């Protein structure tokens, strides 16, 4: 794996650990905040004849405090999920854009958007979309890219894709690419796209 990606990987693992630790602290703080001021029970009839201790316990669990606590916890989980969905560690961004600029020229227009996505603009109103996955859940591979071309209008798309080792979906060329294939398979994708454009 590339040195930059190694760096990005360890950075990501560190940040994950920090996030987990922060979440544990936030969890205990919210637990304290939501249950210390007093219990606001949701009015309800206890289901059957229960001993009074059970009814008290029931009121604590079935209360607005619990609803609030769960909401706060859900917000925390959501923020964590958003963070890991949206951001790519900086070294990985540097690696990706260095590879892309190496192929498509240092003046090529590359935009980066939230959600670990990149878009490279090629000549003639075509572009390549890249989505980076930091860690694949199935295989455990780090930094896998999904390449998608802009829609192509040609009748031999299927064959053209095969000849370049690519797949097709909805009239676009697609490929899953590991980080060490990124360089060469982007070249092939760009080549296939220009062939498709000239044959249309």
Partner 1 sequence: MSTDDTRRPVYELIQLMASLNETKRAILIALGHVYPRSVSGVQLSRLIGYSGRSRSLYRGVLAYLEQDKMILIDQLTPKLYAIRINSEHPLLQLLVDLCREFGEETRRIYLRALEVE
Which positions touch partner 1 (CB under 8 A)? 136, 138-141, 144, 159, 161-167, 175-176, 178, 180-181, 184-185, 187-188
Integer Cα distance of 171 and 154 in angstroms: 9
3-state DSSP assignment of residue 135 = strand
Whichever of 6 and 136 has its CB closer to partner 1, that residue is 136
Query: In degrees, to the nearest 5, what angle opens at C-alpha 105 toward C-alphas 101 and 111?
Result: 50
* Residues in a beta bridge with 126: 122
Is residue 185 within 8 A of residue 165, CB to CB? The reply is yes
Q: How far is the CB of 142 from partner 1 (least distance, A)?
A: 10
Instruction: Catalogue the long-range contacts made by 107-111 (C-beta closer than 8 Å, 24 or more residues apart).
Output: none
- For partner 1, the closer CB: 88 or 188: 188
Q: Note the maximum CA span of the chain.
A: 81
CB of 187 to partner 1, least distance (A): 7
Toward partner 1, which CB reaches closer, 92 or 147? 147
**Least CB distance from residue 20 to partner 1, whole Å?**
24
* The two structure tokens encoding residue 181: 């294939």
Residue 165 beta carbon to partner 1: minimum distance, rounded to whole angstroms: 5
The nearer residue to partner 1, 34 or 185, going by C-beta atoms, is 185
């Amino acid at each position: 794996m590339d040195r930059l990606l190694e760096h990005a990987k360890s950075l990501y693992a560190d940040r994950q650990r920090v996030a987990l630790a922060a979440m544990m602290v936030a969890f205990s703080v919210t637990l304290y905040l939501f249950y210390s001021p007093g219990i606001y029970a949701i009015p309800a009839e206890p289901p059957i004849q229960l001993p009074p201790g059970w009814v008290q316990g029931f009121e604590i669990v079935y209360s607005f405090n619990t609803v609030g606590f769960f909401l706060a916890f859900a917000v925390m989980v959501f923020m964590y999920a958003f963070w890991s969905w949206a951001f790519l560690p900086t070294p990985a961004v540097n690696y990706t854009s260095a590879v892309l600029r190496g192929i498509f020229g240092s003046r090529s227009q590359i935009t980066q958007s939230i959600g670990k996505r990149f878009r490279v603009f090629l000549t003639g109103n075509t572009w390549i979309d890249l989505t980076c996955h930091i860690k694949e859940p199935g295989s455990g591979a780090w930094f896998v890219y999904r390449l998608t071309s802009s829609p192509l209008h040609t009748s031999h798309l299927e064959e053209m894709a095969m000849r370049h080792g690519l797949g097709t979906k909805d009239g676009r060329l697609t490929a899953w690419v590991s980080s060490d294939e990124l360089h060469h398979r982007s070249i092939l994708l760009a080549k296939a796209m220009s062939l498709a454009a000239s044959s249309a």
